[in-house]
């Protein structure tokens, strides 16, 4: 049971970190012009991707542009991606507290 709670906590931490990074990128108002802008956008997509993909999937499901199976496949990928980011966040937090 402890392992399940740790996994759910890691998924939550990863999705939260993803949303924070995606929203900070939006607030900055950075443009995708030039090499620097594209590189920054790619880095944000790697770290903020779960939040951005979930937003697109929800919008697509609500407007009936996405099939429900596509939505749930995207949700499974988002969970896995959030787990990986969450484990990274937890590892960084453990290293900082040492």
Hey, where are the domains in the chain? 2-96
Q: Please, are residues 81 and 49 in contact by the beta-carbon 8 Å criterion? A: yes
Of 66, 88, 73, which Cα lies nearest the Cα of 18?
A: 88
Tokens found for residue 3: 């392992």
- What pLDDT is recorded for position 26? 82
- The mean pLDDT of the chain is 89
- The model's confidence at residue 36, banded by pLDDT at 50, 70 and 90, is confident
- The model's confidence at residue 98, banded by pLDDT at 50, 70 and 90, is low
Identify which of 22-36, 39-53, 66-80 has the greatest average pLDDT: 66-80
44-52 mean pLDDT: 88
- What pLDDT is recorded for position 19? 93
Stated pTM of the model: 0.83
Place of tokens 């496949």: 73
């Amino acid at each position: 049971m402890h392992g399940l709670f740790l996994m759910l906590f890691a998924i939550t931490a990863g999705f939260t970190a993803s949303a924070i990074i995606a929203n900070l990128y939006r607030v900055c108002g950075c443009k995708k012009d030039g090499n620097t802008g594209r590189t920054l956008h790619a880095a944000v997509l790697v770290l903020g991707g779960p939040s951005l993909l979930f937003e697109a999937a929800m919008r697509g499901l609500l407007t009936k542009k996405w099939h429900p199976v596509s939505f749930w496949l995207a949700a499974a990928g988002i969970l896995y991606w959030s787990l990986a980011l969450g484990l990274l966040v937890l590892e960084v937090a453990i290293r900082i507290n040492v």
